A and B are shown apart, each in its own frame.
Chain A
């Protein structure tokens, strides 16, 4: 079974721009979660999508948004980029429920904001 894939793997943007990251979950997985990983804050939960609906949300500003398509693929968008948004963004998929089912992580997208 193919694992979780994320595109692009690396991205460089400037302040004020917006960015869209993509995640393809493992086939059959319906839950997709996004995390931000930084040296200073560690791994922080952004949001989770299930059946095209946002089911859980972390404590991030509204500039961070996402969506999920009918095939469970998910995108994450960050608008009006700030220097502090530089991070590794991880996507994880699970069968039905994060925190109950095993989460499988992708390789991440490394975003650098200049």
Chain B
């Protein structure tokens, strides 16, 4: 069965710092990859997704993620975070022809102004 690991459970940064959140998955075949964000008091929403093509994917609000197949990773990055990026971030994967997403446990990001 597919598993998704988000190794950073809690991340605390100051504004303007760079961000990288890790996401690793276990299945070695074809995958679709997603990052979701849940801002305080808001719904879970899609940040970006990768299905195929350029492994560097750009999403909303200046976020990007890079798919590295050899490392089974899909890390989320942002060069300069803002206080408004404070949220919970979830990585999700579908694989092997299944459309059922497996989610990571989430990373709580707090950005201090």
**A105 touches which of B45, B94, B102 (Cβ 8 Å):** B45
Q: Which of B13-21, B62-70, B75-83, B103-111 contacts A (4 or more CB under 8 A)?
A: B103-111
CB atoms of B101 and A98 under 8 A apart: yes
Query: A23 CA to B59 CA in the complex, in Å?
Result: 28
CB atoms of B49 and A42 under 8 A apart: no
Encoded as 1 (CB less than 8 Å from any B CB) or 0, chain A from 64 to 76 comes to: 0000000000000
CB atoms of B46 and A103 under 8 A apart: yes
CB atoms of B44 and A99 under 8 A apart: no
Please give me the residue from chain A that is nearest to B44 by CB atom.
Answer: A105
Query: A25 CA to B43 CA in the complex, in Å?
Result: 14
Please give me the residue from chain B that is nearest to A106 by CB atom.
Answer: B43
Please give me the residue from chain A that is nearest to B42 by CB atom.
Answer: A107
Query: A97 CA to B99 CA in the complex, in Å?
Result: 7
CB atoms of B94 and A99 under 8 A apart: yes
A56 within 8 A of B: yes
B residues contacting A by CB (< 8 A) are 32, 43-46, 49, 51, 90, 92, 94, 98-106
User: 20 extra interchain contacts, Cβ-Cβ under 8 A, other than A99-B99, A102-B46?
Assistant: A3-B43, A4-B43, A42-B106, A43-B90, A43-B92, A43-B103, A44-B103, A56-B100, A58-B100, A92-B44, A98-B99, A99-B94, A99-B98, A99-B100, A102-B49, A104-B43, A104-B45, A105-B43, A106-B43, A107-B43
